[in-house]
Chains A and B, each alone.
Chain A
Amino acid sequence: MENLQHSEIITQPEKVIEVNKLVKRFGHFTAVDHISFDVEKGEIFGFLGANGAGKTTAMRMLCGLSKPTEGKGKVAGFDIEHQSEQVKKSIGYMSQKFSLYNDLKVWENIRLFAGIYGMNDKDIKEKTALLLEQLHFEKERNVLVKSLPLGMKQKLAFSVAIFHTPEVVFLDEPTGGVDPATRRQFWELIYEAAAKGITVFVTTHYMDEAEYCNRVSIMVDGRIEALDSPHNLKTEFEAHNMDEVFQQLARKATRKAD
């Protein structure tokens, strides 16, 4: 593990997520319909789609929260169907709902989640001090999370999600309800994480955020309709920005948003 994370000798791009014809059906309804894609190490991968397009279902399968009906998928080299426990150990997760405990102090939240991921006390202590310094949160160390402003909470939640240096971090609409300035700062954190070799898998509603991703996939009615870098997608669809690309594809949707 340690070697893999720091190896820069490997020139071949290393695949951290491999998905092959993944399907999820609920009764007669096919929420995810044969999707295939790969995500490389250190990449920021945007996972876009209208509400009800199947993004969340796909992401849940990758996190080991839901079993695929058909198809194969690997996350950090582990099979998502049969090795979900190992998958869980190698990923971080931050949901659209706020994902820290409001009635715990800042350091207690860090301590709790680091403990869950099996880090030892010494590492936790050292890394906590470092993290609080980087975020300029030293003064807030002993503050209950509920009294922090929303932007600070989101930054902290992200930092906690990658505290145990996972291979991949899954972000489910992480910037919902946050002001543009804070969103900007939040994306700086995402870039820092990616630079450290943590692969970022992010869903978002904000099309300006899609521009920040290395590659973007757009889901329509359970299928991936487009997958490329924002630049290539704009050329292909003769669009000025990602929003236009998205509009052109989303128009084809027949499924109603949930």
Chain B
Amino acid sequence: MKQFLTFVKKEFHHIFRDHRTMLILIGMPIVEIILFGFAITTEVKDSKVAILDTSHDVATRHIIDEINANKYFNVVEYIHNSNDIQRVFQKGEASMVVVFEDHFYETLLHTGKAQIQVIADATDPNTATTITYYVNRIISDYQQTLMGQNKAPYQITPNIKLLFNPEMKGAYNFVPGVLGMILMLICAMMTSIAIVREKETGTMEILLVSPIKPIMIILAKMVPYFVISCFNLATVLLLSVYVLGVPVAGSLTGLILISLLFIIVSLSLGLLVSTLTHTQLAAMLVSGMVFLLPVILLSGMIFPIENMPMWMQRLSDIIPAKWYIEAVKALMIEGLGIMNILKEIGILSLMTLVFTAISLKKFNVRLD
């Protein structure tokens, strides 16, 4: 036991004396949460709108005011010529142009019909869909007020309720993903690099010649990363609750439990990588390409899994982070209890067993 503690201390020294790594380990989660929470967001806010209005009448002014007052839009420019539309888009001055036909209000009064053209930059299709939808809403609202007392004889009012994330905050979707990514990165990548580094420098040979048991060497390597991961888990959760305002709606115990399990899965994955590679560079590439990229792309963190082709959905099943992120969403956002994530707990436990079994078999005690 004393041997083991001496060893754990040595591992902490390795980490703490490498200031750059230390900075990455502690700083990365904070930076990522802030980035994903504030900078990288799919929410539409303050979209720049340009207006081409030759009528300047009551109706157009009313609609323009409504658009400007909306939190999603910001009217930045009034253009006077249809030739300018092209220029506005090319220079990126606006992502949407609203064009009113000539003599808008008059036409509307006399013929009962008037036209508005909404042109949106669809480079990002999601944003384009969202902003045109919002403009549509503003226009139909105006139509309702115009009708005033003579309402349409039949009226169906949809009553929309947005569950779990009523304010439609992007952070609700990102926090579980970032959590999965950080834990995977620190546990799997850093552990594998730490073990392979000893192989590379030749100290692993010295350790294997010594009476210390190989399993002790491995466990001692994992302890510091386990501790740092727990610390990061705490930081990420605190930041998301108090800075991003994402609540832990469900069971906190369950959330901590599944996170610890996921940390262990990632550690065993890191161990597996270390038995398969011989250089730090290879370990880093394998962790980066084989683990990190799929975690970002296939775990449902950014792209919904349901929209993927069937074979890709099956592929995502073997990614531990997918199950973890699902469980975290259930606990944090949907507010469910431990009983609802039993399936995820089972799958992650099974994965730990498989990874550990393979790596222990592969970990060559005799270095041959």
Q: Do A112 and B6 form a contact, CB below 8 Å, given A63-B209, A66-B366, A66-B367?
A: yes
Q: Are B209 and A91 in contact, with the CB atoms below 8 A?
A: yes
Q: Considering only CB atoms, which chain A residue lies closest to B367 in the complex?
A: A65
Q: Report the nearest A residue to B210, measured CB to CB.
A: A116
Complex Cα gap A104–B17 (Å): 9
Task: Tell me the nearest residue of chain A to B5, going by C-beta.
Answer: A115
Residue of A60, A97, A99, A117 touching B211 (CB-CB under 8 A): A117
Which residues of chain A come closer than 8 Å to B203, judged between CB atoms?
99-101
**B residues less than 8 Å from A113 (CB atoms):** 206, 210
What are the residues of chain B within 8 A of A118 when measuring CB–CB? 3, 211
What separation, in Å, do the CA atoms of A65 and B211 have in the docked complex? 11
Within 8 A of A (CB), among B7-55: 7, 10, 13-14, 17-18
Interface 0/1 of A92-131, CB less than 8 Å to B: 0111111111111000100111011110000000000000
Give chain B residues whose Cβ lies under 8 Å from the Cβ of A89.
211
Interface residue A85 (Cβ < 8 Å from any Cβ of B): yes
Does A97 lie within 8 Å of B202, measured CB to CB? Answer: yes
CB distance from B116 to the nearest CB of A (A): 68
Is B368 an interface residue, CB under 8 A from the partner? yes
In the complex, the answer to whether A111 meets B13 with C-beta atoms within 8 Å is no
Residue of B2, B13, B210, B368 contacting most chain A CB atoms (<10 Å): B210
Contact A93 B206 (CB under 8 A): yes
User: Could you tell me if B17 and A99 are in contact, using CB atoms closer than 8 angstroms?
Assistant: no
Of all chain A residues, the one with the shortest Cβ separation from B216 is A116
Whole-angstrom distance between the alpha carbons of A64 and B367 in the complex? 10
**Chain B residues whose CB sits within 8 angstroms of the CB of A93 once the complex forms:** 205-206, 209-210
Contact between B3 and A95, CB atoms less than 8 A apart: no
Q: Is residue A72 contacting chain B, with contact meaning CB distance below 8 A?
A: no
Is B210's CB under 8 angstroms from A88's CB?
A: yes
Complex CA gap A172/B333 in Å reads 59
Within 8 A of B (CB), among A50-96: 60, 63-67, 85, 88-89, 91, 93-96
- Residues from chain B with Cβ under 8 Å of A67 in the complex: 366
Flag if A111 contacts B201 (CB, 8 Å): no
The complex places the Cα of A66 from the Cα of B7 at a distance, in Å, of 24
Tell me, rounded to whole Å, the shortest Cβ–Cβ distance linking A7 to chain B: 24
Q: Is B205 in contact with A97, judged by CB distance below 8 angstroms?
A: yes
Q: Kindly state whether residue B59 has any CB partner on chain A within 8 Å.
A: no
A103: which of B13, B208, B368 is its contact (CB, 8 Å)? B13
- Tally of contacts, chain A with chain B, CB under 8 A: 73
Restricting to A133-165, which residues have a CB under 8 Å from any CB of B?
144
A224–B17 alpha-carbon span in the complex (Å):
47
- Whether B212 is near chain A, meaning CB under 8 Å from some CB there, is yes
Question: Within the assembled complex, what's the spacing in Å between the Cα atoms of A94 and B210?
Answer: 11
Most buried by A among B7, B10, B206, B212: B206
Give the chain B neighbours of A88 by CB distance below 8 A. 209-211
Q: How far does the alpha carbon of A116 sit from the alpha carbon of B6 in the complex, in Å?
A: 8
| Docked-complex contact B211 and A85, CB < 8 angstroms | yes
The B340-368 residues at the A interface (CB cut-off 8 A) are: 366-368
Contacting pair B202 A99 (CB below 8 A): yes
A116 to B210, CA, bound (A): 7
Minimum distance in angstroms from A59 CB to a CB of chain B: 10
| Complex CA–CA separation, A103 to B14 (angstroms) | 6
Chain B residues numbered 196-248 whose CB sits less than 8 Å from any CB in chain A:
201-203, 205-212
With a cutoff of 8 Å between Cβ atoms, the chain A residues found around residue B10 in the complex are 101, 104, 108, 112
**Given the complex, which residues of A lie within 8 Å of B208, measured CB to CB?**
65
B198 to chain A, nearest CB (A): 9
Establish whether residues A103 and B18, one from each chain, have CB atoms under 8 Å apart when the complex forms.
yes
Q: Is the CB of A95 within 8 A of B206?
A: yes
A binding-site residues for B, Cβ under 8 Å: 60, 63-67, 85, 88-89, 91, 93-104, 108, 111-113, 115-118, 144, 170
Contacts A/B (CB < 8 Å), 17 sampled: A65-B205, A65-B367, A67-B366, A88-B210, A88-B211, A94-B206, A97-B202, A98-B202, A99-B202, A99-B206, A102-B201, A103-B13, A103-B17, A103-B18, A104-B10, A112-B6, A170-B209
The 9 closest A-B pairs by CB, nearest first: A97-B202, A115-B6, A93-B209, A88-B211, A99-B206, A89-B211, A103-B17, A116-B210, A116-B212
| Chain B residues packing against A (C-beta within 8 Å) | 2-3, 6-7, 10, 13-14, 17-18, 201-203, 205-212, 366-368
14 further A-B contacts with Cβ under 8 Å, apart from A65-B208, A116-B7, are A65-B209, A65-B367, A65-B368, A88-B209, A89-B211, A93-B206, A101-B14, A103-B18, A104-B10, A104-B13, A104-B14, A115-B2, A116-B207, A170-B209
